[in-house]
Amino acid sequence: MEQRAFNFSAGPAGLPLPVLEKIQRDLLVYPGAGASVMEISHRSKTFAAIHEQAKSNIKQLLNLPDNYHVLFAQGGATMQFTMIGMNFLQGKSADYIDCGAWAKKAIEEAKKFGTARVCWTGKAENYKRMPKTPDLDLDANAAFVHMTSNETIQGIEFFDEPETGSVPLIADASSDFLSRPIDISKYALLYAGAQKNVGPSGVAVAIIRDDMLERVPAGLPSLLDYRLLQENDSLYNTPPCFAIYVVALTTQWLLDEMGGLAGIEAHNRKKAAILYDAIDQSGGFYVGHAERDSRSLMNVTFVLANKDLEGEFIAQAKAAGLDELKGHRSVGGCRASIYNAMPLAGCEALAQFMRDFQQKHG
Ligand SMILES: *Cc1c(COP(=O)(O)O)cnc(C)c1O
């Protein structure tokens, strides 16, 4: 078999090797089912158990209070932008924190359903940091406040939730979901496309508090109605069964092998420190994008001071088995995405490569 590269893809991103091996083992026959997970009814006992496992693992990892529901929806995080507008804006005004590329997309979608009021923007600073609560111009009557907990493209992350008082806080956590412990009780709704940290694309996880479901207006398109989704336990129609199965395996791996969210946070901090140290100790050869206290633990963004070397850096890294280091097409530069599944050895190999490359070209 061909060698697996260290895959720094921003998404869909690498999955834990033990999870892939388990999928491979069970691919033709899932134990007891006589068929693969792709080939059985979503109403079968086998799938019900898989679905239950995915939900209960997420509950356990987040220490989820009983007034929250774990839902699986289709359409990725982008469809959540739409659902939030349809379900909770309804012509009203909500506060959006404009902290980067994904926030902007969420805002553009929300405008179709009401007023998406920008309560802070990092645009003038080229999205180098997350705001603190006092930076925000919050409207006490807003329908909700929307934040992006990790801006995947800019590589900046929130480490303190904004204090929004009685206004519900909604978070797009697509690229840092289940990467460290959070106080979930601060959120009314937290959602994530699975393909960065917890599974393949095709499913989004939405964790929603009871009182939000009461706000959902009648008559929404069925698949875009959070209340209907909850009332049907995410099975109003055929869900993305295989993707949910992988979420069950990935969350089980977090619990059994990585020490839950506290364990994975320690692991993720160590990994990120290796790369940020390599940047900081390069004497300006590599330049990080984010301000220090907003540096993402998931997406490490940087440029080479000598832009002419960037193409060579990315190409040589690829040849050395360090793949997908090109920054997003909208911002350029380099980006190492180091989600939960990236092993420590991948970050060590990249840091060593960075030092070697600098020695040759510095
Ligand atoms: C990847 C990403 C999205 C878009 O996810 P899709 O599942 O492709 O819709 C949205 N928000 C953030 C923060 C992301 O990282």
Under 8 Å CB-to-CB from 39, ≥6 apart: which residues?
Answer: none
Percent of the chain with pLDDT over 90: 98
Report the distance separating Cα 142 and Cα 240, nearest Å.
34
Q: What is the band of 12 on the pLDDT scale with cuts at 50, 70, 90?
A: very high
Same domain for 314 and 287, yes or no, is yes
Contact 46, 40 (CB under 8 A): yes
18 located within any domain:
no
Residue of 215, 144, 193, 175 whose CA lies nearest to 298 = 175
Alpha carbons 350 and 116: distance in angstroms, whole number: 40
Give this prediction's pTM: 0.98
Annotated active-site residue 98? The verdict is no
Looking at 192, 222, 257, the residue that finishes a domain is 257
Which DSSP string do the residues of 215-244 spell out, in sequence order?
TPPTT--GGG-HHHHHHTTT-SS---HHHH
For residue 331, name the pLDDT band (cuts at 50, 70, 90): confident
Q: Mark which of 257, 283, 303 sits at the end of a domain.
A: 257
Give per-residue pLDDT as tens, 136-150: 999 999 999 999 999
Active site residue 120: no
Q: How confident is the model at residue 245, as a pLDDT? A: 98
Query: Which atom in ligand 1 lies closest to the alpha carbon of residue 173?
Result: 13
Provide φ and ψ at 122, rounded to 5°: -100, 10
DSSP structure class, residue 58 = H
Shared domain check, 357 and 215: no
Share of the chain above pLDDT 70, in %: 100
Over range 208-215, report the average pLDDT: 98
Return the DSSP state at 33. Answer: T
Cβ atoms 97, 103 nearer than 8 A: yes
Show the domain range for 269: 260-361
Whether 216 and 17 have beta carbons less than 8 Å apart is answered as no
User: Where is the domain boundary, 257, 287, 319?
Assistant: 257
Q: What is the pLDDT of residue 329?
A: 77
Dump pLDDT digits (tens) for 17-67.
Answer: 999 999 999 999 999 999 999 999 999 999 999 999 999 999 999 999 999
Would you say residue 330 has pLDDT above 80? no
Task: Compute the distance from residue 253 Cα to the ligand 1 centre, in Å.
Answer: 23
Render pLDDT for 295-323 as a digit per residue (tens, 0 to 9). 999 999 999 999 999 999 999 999 999 99
Indicate the number of domains in the chain: 2
For residues 274 and 253, state if they share a domain.
no
How many Å lie between the centroid of ligand 1 and the Cα of residue 32?
35
Select which of 59, 104, 128, 196 is catalytic.
196
Average pLDDT over the chain reads 97
